[in-house]
Amino acid sequence: MRKISLLVLSILLGFSAFSQKIKDATVLKSAASIEEKVIKWRRHFHENPELGNREFKTAEKIAEHLKSLGMEVKTGIAYTGVVGILKGGKPGPVVGLRADIDALPVTERVDVPFASKVKSEYNGISSGIMHACGHDTHIAILMGVAEVLSGMKKDLKGTVKFIFQPAEEGAPQGEEGGAELMVKEGVLKSPDVEAIFGLHISAGTPVGQINYKSEGIMAAADRFVIKVKGKQTHGSRPWGGVDPITVSSQIITGLNNIVARQTELTKEAAVISVGLIRGGIRNNIIPEEVEMIGTIRTLDTDMQNKVHDKIRLTATKIAESVGATAEVDIQIGYPVTYNDPALTAKMLPSLQKASSSVVNINPITGAEDFSFYAKEVPGLYFFIGGLPADVKPEDASAHHTPDFYIDESGMRTGVKALLFLTLDYMNKK
Ligand SMILES: [Zn+2]
Ligand SMILES: [Zn+2]
């Protein structure tokens, strides 16, 4: 009897190890067999790009695909967002997978048969429209992942929420949009998402590579406007007034000193840049007012708050010291894209199954609205390579430019990564 139960146990153990192995192999096989479709979808979206909050046809095609897979589909979330809910055959957590779907006002210069010829108006200026950040690849990858996971439905231990989000690059003037609005409209609720995964293709990272980082991977991006008010006077007699131009130059030095002298840079990076300075009309008039506009990038919420306080203090006190005033307006933008350390550690082996080259990177001072989801629930955001093997990273065209180019074979790594992350997360619960 004992002998038999040991035998049964060893068969069961052997079988479970065997079936686990089969599962990984199945995932790899599925990622390979869906690749052709993923490339076809990507080319379709690349040729038919749409701007943020105007992704009508894009959303239609996504919804049609998700419906054809038999899942529950919600449309019109945050203007053009689409959400598909795939309920697995077994109980388990709700995993969120997110892709952004918007294009940019950039006129494509890449010579491919599926290049965009679409033109539109952006803030009243006519421009070509292009998927110049690679969001077309994100849509195609997630559509592929949706198809593969739908085929595994009865064995899925939980639910997957496929979140196709508009306007990551920002909503048109005067409109809300993107991840913030999706969250506001309840995209993470009923069923409640327990963990969320998202990726971005990178034109400067070799195909097959995955870049990740625990904690702050992308910066919070806040905008500031400083209005310095002095007293207008003749340029020949500055002592007769209060010169806001000189005060502004002192404030800029003060802002640089916040980063250089008052911020613990060994903990996290921080950036303050003045991008616009405007004041005055001619050589011999000292004007009344100068306006400065700039950006603040931080990777830690505590540091972000401290930097904001210091900007207010520095600007107002420097102005006060010479009898001027400074009004400081800080407009909060995208939060820090924060990768939950426990989730990152737990899921790293899944990324390593998807790629033999998983690199722990330095933080990026760009911003990303995936941060709004990761503020609500534990999230993991990472990059996949799209750089052709024969191109050096320094020769890759930057995102948001007319020559932006992605090697489509990089998408397979994205499909594999999202599949492994979803299945492993469900299995580890
Ligand atoms: Zn972008
Ligand atoms: Zn992007």
Dump pLDDT digits (tens) for 364-416. 999 999 999 999 999 999 999 999 999 999 999 999 999 999 999 999 999 99
Nearest one of 276, 313, 272 to 296, comparing CA atoms: 272
pTM: 0.91
> Which ligand has the shortest distance to the CA of 381?
2
Tell me how far the alpha carbon of residue 366 lies from the centroid of ligand 2, in angstroms.
Answer: 10
Nearest one of 200, 217, 197, 212 to 133, comparing CA atoms: 200
Tell me how far the alpha carbon of residue 424 lies from the centroid of ligand 1, in angstroms.
Answer: 29
Distance CA 137, CA 166 (A): 14
> Which ligand has the shortest distance to the CA of 202?
2
> Which ligand has the shortest distance to the CA of 401?
1
Q: What is residue 11's predicted lDDT score, i.e. its pLDDT?
A: 46
Tell me how far the alpha carbon of residue 202 lies from the centroid of ligand 1, in angstroms.
Answer: 10
Q: What is residue 15's predicted lDDT score, i.e. its pLDDT?
A: 44
Q: Which of 55, 268, 408, 425 is flagged as catalytic?
A: 408
Tell me how far the alpha carbon of residue 313 lies from the centroid of ligand 2, in angstroms.
Answer: 34
Dump pLDDT digits (tens) for 51-104. 999 999 999 999 999 999 999 999 999 999 999 999 999 999 999 999 999 999
Tell me how far the alpha carbon of residue 169 lies from the centroid of ligand 2, in angstroms.
Answer: 7
Tell me how far the alpha carbon of residue 400 lies from the centroid of ligand 1, in angstroms.
Answer: 6
Active site residue 60: no
> Which ligand has the shortest distance to the CA of 100?
2
> Which ligand has the shortest distance to the CA of 104?
1
Tell me how far the alpha carbon of residue 339 lies from the centroid of ligand 1, in angstroms.
Answer: 19
Q: What is residue 5's predicted lDDT score, i.e. its pLDDT?
A: 52
Tell me how far the alpha carbon of residue 337 lies from the centroid of ligand 2, in angstroms.
Answer: 13
Q: Which of 212, 334, 338, 425 is flagged as catalytic?
A: 334
Tell me how far the alpha carbon of residue 359 lies from the centroid of ligand 1, in angstroms.
Answer: 21
With vertex at residue 163, the alpha carbon angle to CA 161 and CA 169, rounded to the nearest 5 degrees, is: 160
For the chain, domains (ranges, CATH) are 2-218+339-428 (3.40.630.10), 220-331 (3.30.70.360)
Q: What is residue 27's predicted lDDT score, i.e. its pLDDT?
A: 95
Place of tokens 């790629």: 355
Tell me how far the alpha carbon of residue 134 lies from the centroid of ligand 1, in angstroms.
Answer: 8
> Which ligand has the shortest distance to the CA of 398?
1
Residue 383 burial (CB count, 10 A): 22
Query: Per this entry, what is the length of the chain?
Result: 429
Active site residue 408: yes
Tell me how far the alpha carbon of residue 318 lies from the centroid of ligand 1, in angstroms.
Answer: 36
In contact, 357 and 206? CB cutoff 8 Å:
yes
* Regions of the chain where pLDDT drops below 70: 1-22, 429
